[in-house]
Chain A
Amino acid sequence: MREAVAALVRDGDTVAIEGFTHLISFAAGHEIIRQGRRDLTLARLTPDVIYDQMVAAGVARKLVFSWLGNPGVGGLHAIRRVTEGDGATLELEEYSHFGMVARYTAGAANLPFFPLRSYFETDLPAANPLIRPIESPYGDGLVYAVPPLRPDVTIVHAQRASAAGDTQVWGLLGCQKEAAFAADRVIVVVEELVEEAVIRADPNRTILPGLVVDAVVVEPWGAHPSYVQGAYDRDNRFYLDWDPISRSVEATDAWLREWVYELDGRAAYVEKLGAERLASLRPSAAAPSGSVDYGEYR
Chain B
Amino acid sequence: MSAGDGVSGVEGGAPAAFSRSEMMIVAAARELAGQRVCFVGVGLPNIAVNLAKRTVAPDLELVYEAGVFGARPARLPLSIGDPTIVTGATAVTSMFELFAFYLQGGLVDVGFLGAAQIDRFGNINTTVIGPYDHPTTRLPGSGGACEIAINARQVFVIMRQSRRSFVERIDFRTSPGNLGGGEASARIRREQGWLGRGPSVVVTDLGIWHFADDGEMRLDALHPGATLDQVRDTIGWQPRIADDLATTPPPTDEELRLIRVELDPAGAYTK
Contact = CB atoms under 8 A, between A and B. Distances in A.
Interface string A77-99: 00110011110100000111110
B78 A121 contact: no
A232 B29 CA distance: 32
Contacts of B145: 96
Contacts of A124: 127, 142, 146, 174
B133 A88 contact: yes
B81 A67 contact: no
Contact of A66 (B83, B142, B195): B142
B44 to A, nearest CB: 13
B136 A20 contact: no
Contacts, number: 171
Contacts of B193: 117, 140-141
A86 to B, nearest CB: 6
Closest A-B pairs by Cβ, 6 of them: A21-B81, A67-B143, A98-B99, A96-B142, A71-B79, A118-B147
A83 B103 CA distance: 31
Interface stretch (B2-10, B61-69, B215-223, B242-250): B61-69
Contacts of A236: 78
A22 B81 contact: yes
Contacts of B86: 171-172, 229
A22 B83 CA distance: 8
Nearest to A128: B132
Interface residues of A, number: 58
B192 interface: yes
A163 interface: no
Interface residues of B, number: 55
Contacts of A227: 83
Interface string B71-103: 000000011111100111000111110011001
A172 B69 CA distance: 11
A118 B147 CA distance: 5
Contacts of A105: 96
Given A72-B79, A116-B147, A95 B95 contact: no
A97 B142 contact: yes
Contacts of B78: 72, 234, 236
A101 B99 contact: yes
B192 to A, nearest CB: 6
Interface string A220-240: 000000010100011010010
Interface string A127-151: 1000000000000111000000000
Contact of A21 (B43, B82, B141): B82
Contact of A122 (B67, B68, B175): B175
A75 B135 CA distance: 14
Contacts of B99: 97-98, 101
Contacts of A71: 42, 79-81
Contacts of A239: 79
